[in-house]
Amino acid sequence: MNLYNSFAKAFAENHDKTALRVPERELTLTFSELERLSAQMANLLLEQGLNAGDRVAVQVEKSPEALALYLAVLRAGGVYLPLNTAYMPDELAYFVGNAEPGIVVATQRQMPVFQQIRHDTGCVFQMLTLEADGGGSLTTAAQVHAETFASVERDDSDIAAILYTSGTTGRPKGAMISHGNLSSNARVLGEYWGWQKDDVLLHALPIFHVHGLFVACNISLSQGTEMIYLSRLDIDEMIRQLPASTVLMGVPTFYTRLLADPRFDSELVKNMRLFVSGSAPLLEETFAEFEARTGHQILERYGMTETGMNTSNPLNGERLPGTVGFPLPGTSVRIVDADGKVLAANEVGSLQVKGPNVFAGYWRMPEKTASEFSSDGYFITGDLGKIDDQGYVSIVGREKDLIISGGYNIYPKEVEMVLNEIDGVLESAVFAFKDKDFGEGVAAAIVTDGSASVTDTAIKGICKGRLAGYKLPRKIVMLEELPRNTMGKVQKNILREKYGS
């Protein structure tokens, strides 16, 4: 069924309860108010010509109105396409050209960018604006529409959202996430993490990302519980709100920055029930330091854009640092060798998953979709992992050199394509270096023609105009040649070993 219907049941049971509390705007929204606002937006989307299955691309700042827009797209039967606010024009042009949305919602500042994209690509789409303060043509136009809306019928297999994830060619792939994928994952996580009716989620994640939207928001909405809704990671505001919260979901950066603040102690979090970490590896020393400071163990889990959440350390039971816990109920996880043979406990191999959470495939890429699944229907994650004799899953590496920085996926080829176009750069190799704050950072080994103009500063300056901020190389190593094996393949493992710490 339509994912929104699973939310609507909880909304009806908690009509006058606070859904969102927004301290920065001194604003609260009840579930009934959120329902009415999303209904008005859904009616507007239909007026703008949205048909079931049409894509709605959204590049806006985090706000309660942006969350209502997500709900409105679901209700109207559209396909929600969230876009990182850091994306640059070249990146946006690819996404729009590939997804061909019928409607684009963005800030007024971005309107010239999308107007140019519409001109260059020939894509035909309506444009609406939405600002961080809730203003814009979207909310203004929605105000005159009815406050009720009957959700458009959708099957579990129908696409609810497309999220772009990095691809081996340097061009991202659109992962098609179904209504069934999202509803099953929210239901399972709510049960596995023991969600309670009086839980209050401190939400400081972005909502253009699986973690912030499809995990954090979807669980809270489906359970009818309150979110303290922060526009961004703000440690001062988080510390003010922690005493009123019971659950925090974050990337490792959240926890390292809280630990760096002397105000963060066990007294501050005495009402907290659960701390969850994901989207990037959590260092074991962070886990230990957090437990020593607060008495709480961080619960680490593992998921990805294509699958939502796959595994989790237990709510009740031993949470092993360095592992991502057990397969979630209904999800099968296995480790196989290069021939597809299932490996024994503690053997490292390719990690594969299967279950109702696994996506339908890549948008307009049937061949790529086929190549990413095994013959018996397991999704090949590209991660290297192992399962110990107790059943705990550990991620030990990535077959495809994916970099995860602050929860964002970065494929080295995307960055290398930009670097190799710089005058004086002969070749480059992008790899991950360990970063306590972000988990991993982007490093680049560069071979130049000897030009004095090709400096660390010049390279970073050029990249800044071409790439989203989280993709920018923060460590640059100038080399006379890149390390290669006998087949001529660049040995990024050597670069990581030598320059990755």
Q: Convert the pLDDT of each residue in 401-410 to its tens digit.
A: 778 899 887 8
- Class of CATH domain 403-499: alpha beta
The answer to whether 3-18+26-191 and 403-499 have equal CATH topology is no
Residue keyed to tokens 């809704």: 229
Contact 225, 199 (CB under 8 A): yes
The pTM of the full predicted model, rounded to 2 decimals, is 0.86
- Give residue 294's pLDDT: 98
pLDDT in tens, 102-112: 999 999 999 99
CATH of 3-18+26-191, one of 2.30.42.10, 3.10.310.30, 3.40.50.2300, 3.40.50.12780: 3.40.50.12780
- Give residue 170's pLDDT: 58
The backbone torsions φ and ψ at residue 199, rounded to the nearest 5 degrees and listed phi first, read -65, 145
Q: Which of 91-95, 133-137, 309-313, 397-401 has the lowest mean pLDDT?
A: 397-401
Contact 241, 226 (CB under 8 A): no
Instruction: Give Cβ neighbours of residue 317 (< 8 Å, ≥ 6 apart).
Output: none
Mean pLDDT on 126-135? 98
Separation between Cα atoms, residue 499 and residue 430, nearest integer Å = 11
Structure-token pair, residue 130: 């939405």
Does an H or E element contain 362, and which?
A: strand 361-362
Angle between helix axes 252-259 and 284-294 (nearest 10 degrees) is 50
pLDDT in tens, 320-338: 999 999 999 999 999 999 8
Cβ density class 358-382: b for 16+ within 10 Å, e for less: bbbbbbebeeebeebeeeeebbbbb
Q: Quick one: pLDDT band at residue 168, thresholds 50, 70, 90?
A: very low
The DSSP-derived string for 122-187 is: ----EEEE--TTS-SHHHHHHTTS-S--PPPP--TTSEEEEEEE--TTSS-EEEEEEHHHHHHHHH
Q: Quick one: pLDDT band at residue 7, thresholds 50, 70, 90?
A: very high
Whether the pLDDT of residue 255 is over 90: the answer is yes
Report in angstroms the alpha-carbon separations of 293 from 206, 233, 259, 297.
27, 21, 8, 10
- Class of CATH domain 233-398: alpha beta
- Give residue 441's pLDDT: 95
Which of 401, 409, 472, 402 has its CA nearest to residue 443? Answer: 472
Whether the pLDDT of residue 214 is over 90: the answer is yes
Q: Quick one: pLDDT band at residue 167, thresholds 50, 70, 90?
A: low
Burial of 26: CB neighbours in 10 Å, binned 0-12, 13-18, 19+: exposed
SS3 labels along 211-266: HHHHHHHHHHHHHCCEEEECCCCCHHHHHHHHHHCCEEEECHHHHHHHHCCCCCCC
Contact 401, 429 (CB under 8 A): no
Q: Quick one: pLDDT band at residue 488, thresholds 50, 70, 90?
A: low
Contact 20, 67 (CB under 8 A): yes
Q: Which of 49-58, 169-178, 483-492 has the lowest mean pLDDT?
A: 483-492
Question: For a pLDDT cut of 70, what percent of the chain falls above it?
Answer: 98
> How does the average pLDDT of the chain come out, rounded?
94
- The number of helices, as runs of H, and strands, as runs of E, in the chain is 15, 25
Separation between Cα atoms, residue 276 and residue 269, nearest integer Å = 14
Separation between Cα atoms, residue 8 and residue 72, nearest integer Å = 12
109-112: list long-range contacts, CB under 8 Å, 24+ apart: 110/59
Q: How far is CA 420 from the centre of its chain?
A: 28
Q: How far is CA 97 from the centre of its chain?
A: 21
Report in angstroms the alpha-carbon separations of 338 from 258, 325, 445.
41, 24, 29
DSSP assignment letter at 210:
I
Contact 260, 227 (CB under 8 A): no
Ramachandran sector of residue 439 (left: φ over 0; alpha: ψ -120 to 50; beta: rest): left
Structure-token pair, residue 365: 């890429």
pLDDT in tens, 375-387: 999 999 999 899 9
Separation between Cα atoms, residue 7 and residue 406, nearest integer Å = 29
pLDDT in tens, 412-470: 888 988 998 899 999 899 999 999 899 999 999 999 999 998 999 999 999 999 999 99
Separation between Cα atoms, residue 282 and residue 276, nearest integer Å = 11
- For the chain, domain boundaries: 3-18+26-191, 233-398, 403-499
